[in-house]
Structure 1
């Protein structure tokens, strides 16, 4: 035994308290909860059977991924508390041309699962309803 360990063992045997750090015991590290995951795979399709394009959007811990407007899209999603039906609507007119597009989002927002699919009459209506989230 090392002399320091012998001295500590003697003190413990005598009932003296020894700080954990002095006894060579590991100290308790401060534990922080991991940041809840916010990662969505977004797609836009002409019909339910045809996939046009998709992009990964990560919002936590910071906006990243291949989305061209990641920071703005993450801010809009956060403002709607992850509810894509509550995204702020743009104020601009769209034609009545029927050329349906299907938008979907799957993944998680701040640790809660997201599975969202909605059909819009055309690309303009999608853009008005979802802002920058599906603008890729």
Structure 2
């Protein structure tokens, strides 16, 4: 019976010590770390209407309903290879994705729809953007670097 009481007392002491350490360490850690931005966007691109009859070995990104995504943060820029440029474009458009200036480019007239979606918060305002484009080229031309985390310039 002494063993059971000693174990229970030891657990209680450890929990109390952990709570005291966490309570005491949190303000010190918060004071030394830079404030993290609350701005973030969860970005996804989903292929719609991909051809049926998937061939073996077809990359997952080319399959119907396959989604790719990234979590974009801008303070500091992170989330995909073009985060810095995407953040600059969002700032210039005041966080309104539809207001990012369209880039002049020639896109093939291939029907391969993709749906771009952004959800999150930008400069204290909620963001809820969903749009389907005829193909990935048109999406990149209309949304700049935001959804082009693996595309080339």
Decide: shared fold, TM above 0.5.
yes
Given that 2:48 and 2:112 are in contact with CA atoms closer than 8 Å, whether structure 1 keeps it comes out as no
Distance in 2 between the 1:121 and 1:47 partners? 10
Q: Secondary structure at the match of 2:69?
A: strand
Structure that is richer in strand per residue: 1
Number of corresponding residues: 101
TM-score by length of 1: 0.69
Out of 123, 126, 131, the position equivalent to 2:136 is: 123
Structure 1 residues 44-72: Cα deviation after superposition (integer angstroms, max 9, x where no partner) = 0012981321000001x3212x3111110
Structure that is richer in helix per residue: 2
Structure 1 residues 78-132: Cα deviation after superposition (integer angstroms, max 9, x where no partner) = 1100100001211111111111000000000011000100000001000100111
Over the aligned positions, Cα root-mean-square deviation in angstroms equals: 1.8
- Runs of 4+ aligned residues of structure 1 deviating over 3 Å after TM superposition are none
Aligned to 1:109: 122
Aligned to 2:76: 62
| Unmatched segments (≥5 aa) in structure 2 | 1-34, 50-63
Distance in 2 between the 1:53 and 1:125 partners? 17
Aligned to 1:53: 68
Aligned to 1:23: none
Q: Secondary structure at the match of 1:75?
A: helix
| Unmatched segments (≥5 aa) in structure 1 | 1-33
Out of 61, 85, 89, the position equivalent to 1:76 is: 89
Find the structure with the greater CA-based Rg. Answer: 1
TM-score by length of 2: 0.61
